[in-house]
Structure 1
Amino acid sequence: MLKTVEMIVDFRRNTPALPPLTIMNSTVPTVESFRFLGTTISQDLKLDTHIDSIIKKAQQRLYFLWQLRKFNLPQELLTQFYSAVIESVLCTSITVWFGSATKSDIRRLQRTVRTAERIIGAPLPTLQELYTSRVRKRALKITLDPSHPGHLLFDLLPSGRRYRAATTRTARHKNSFFLQAIYLLNS
């Protein structure tokens, strides 16, 4: 019961006052944001808190990359260290949050990648490239697994070569994983 919280996501202009949620005579606390499977989710579905924590973790790990460079490690080992320790932090649940991140947030994250490139002295994949490859890989897995709940969202057109894209009215829906995945699979 201690891990149970209530978060209301409601984009209506006039949100009605709701009575407190009670489970087994215990009132569930209402929160504005919480951490779920490593991703901080906020009431307004903005990612500022989550991206701030990613940047902080990545910058802390850049220190160790600097230290390894001081010891004259080969470029290949520095790149492997970056991939294992820093890129893994930057890409944790990237398919969930990257599509909804603002341009300024992506620039802040990409600055960390550029700093690592300067330390290593070699080009590294951009966050957009990492996002694209991971979305495409996950989407292919979903299309091949009929038991996946999202499998039905990947509907082939009669030609059998392209997937049907759902019509959308909001940017939030357009930037969702499934629509981005369909776009990437069709390109």
Structure 2
Amino acid sequence: MLFIEYSSAFNPIIPDILVSKLLHLQLLPPICAWIKDFLTNRPQTVELGPHLSSSLSLSTSSPQGCVLSSLLYSLYTHDCTPSHPSNTVIKFADDTTVVGLISGGDETAYRDEALQVHQSWHLQTH
């Protein structure tokens, strides 16, 4: 078993890519438009003691701590699936587990799968 936990996993969500995937999953266009609106041009400020920074507009990522973020990330990475029948990819929020059957001491398929899962996620988000 390989456990993968991506720090700041919600940060690289690109709204246009997410909406494209949601439309491919046949989500209704008005819902996709709402999600894109939710994720783009969000104002952000930082408060440190009595000081407040000026506002900055964000158009990537999903807000940390938002109930919707885990679901959006799961949908964003839904197509990161196993390529070998002896392996399973289990995802929950930003945690990913690759489970593979190693038979006859040959772990090639498992190692390749772990690499493929990481590369697939990296290509989607960078």
TM range (shorter): under 0.3
**Which of the pair has more CA radius of gyration?**
1
Q: Which protein has greater RCO, CA pairs closer than 8 Å, 6+ apart?
A: 2
- Identify the structure with the greater helix proportion: 1
Between Structure 1 and Structure 2, the one with more strand by share is 2
**Superposition TM-score, scaled by structure 1 size:** 0.18
